[in-house]
Amino acid sequence: MRDIQKYTSDYDCMDDPANRFETEYQVVYRRKKVLEELKRYQHDTILEVGCGLDSYVNYITEFKKAVVVEPSPKFAEKAKNELDKDGRVTVICSTLEKAVKMLEHQTFDFIIVSGLLNEIEEPVDFLKSIKRLCKNCHTVIHVNVANADSVHRLWAVEMGLIKNPCEASERNKKFQQTILESAEEGAIEILDMGSYFLKPFSHKQMMQCIEQGILTETLIDGLDKMVKYFPEYGSEIYINYRMK
């Protein structure tokens, strides 16, 4: 089981250049992609799993009901404070695995699992919990994770810094394998998949380039647009799928 206190403190540490890039830039482009995908599907009822510092529900207006499940007491409290006035929203401080029983009677049109699977020790078991909440055959699950084939990882391989691009992302690799196997077995229907935000350097290096004026906001935005030329090599990948 992951250490929730460590997860909270690590995510919330702004002294680390890598964390600053994550919260000031990577999150922005991740959110952009999630909201783009959300608009493509019915989303009267939304489940967000793991909201971190800033719930996606803060950026969504057209919905009838939303549930946010967040295991960190600090992040859950922040979400409650921000969303408390919206009677359509319920925030639950819990892991998804523990919250499943109280949510099983509800149906959801769209489930968001964003930037989370890298924190989950058993991603396959986690996805089984998601499956239990998909009683509506039309439920769309959106998942995004770090891309093992991101440009910056492939570059690291060619420089000899790592042996292969999957070296430090076994959980994400396991998730991708599980999804593909499920599709081949006919258990799920993959609706869309792709990548976003081309990132040539590590988080820390990206932040250093920004602080030194090498990378401007315009250049960074251009990196996100560049992914259309390199659709498989963005910094993160996403998939939208339904259970069959």
Q: What is the CATH number of the domain that holds 55?
A: 3.40.50.150
> Which pLDDT belongs to residue 127?
82
Is residue 117 very low, low, confident or very high in pLDDT (cuts 50, 70, 90)? confident
Q: Is the pLDDT of residue 2 over 60?
A: no
Is residue 57 very low, low, confident or very high in pLDDT (cuts 50, 70, 90)? very high
* More confidently predicted of 119 and 213: 213
Q: Is the pLDDT of residue 113 over 90?
A: yes
Arithmetic mean of pLDDT, 20-32: 95
* More confidently predicted of 183 and 133: 133
Is residue 175 very low, low, confident or very high in pLDDT (cuts 50, 70, 90)? low
Q: Is the pLDDT of residue 176 over 60?
A: yes
Task: Please give the residue range of the domain that contains residue 155.
Answer: 4-243
Arithmetic mean of pLDDT, 97-126: 88
Q: Is the pLDDT of residue 228 over 70?
A: yes
Q: pTM for this structure?
A: 0.89
Model confidence pLDDT, tens digit, residues 32-44: 999 999 999 999 9
* More confidently predicted of 134 and 172: 134
Is residue 135 very low, low, confident or very high in pLDDT (cuts 50, 70, 90)? confident
> Which pLDDT belongs to residue 1?
47
DSSP string, the chain: ---HHHHHHHHT-TTSHHHHHIIIIIHHHHHHHHHHHHHTS--SEEEEE--TTS-GGGG--S-SEEEEEES-HHHHHHHHHHHTT-TTEEEEES-HHHHHHHHTT---SEEEEES-GGG-S-HHHHHHHHHHT--STT-EEEEEEE-TT-HHHHHHHHTTSSSSTTTT-HHHHHHHHHHHHHHHTTSEEEEEEEEE----S-HHHHHHHHHTTSS-HHHHHHHHHGGGTSTT-SSEEEEEEEE-
Lowest mean pLDDT among 19-23, 31-35, 60-64, 216-220: 19-23
Arithmetic mean of pLDDT, 68-73: 95
Query: What rounded mean pLDDT belongs to the chain?
Result: 88
Looking at the chain, the whole-number percentage of residues with pLDDT higher than 90 is 66
Domain count across the chain = 1
Is residue 163 very low, low, confident or very high in pLDDT (cuts 50, 70, 90)? confident
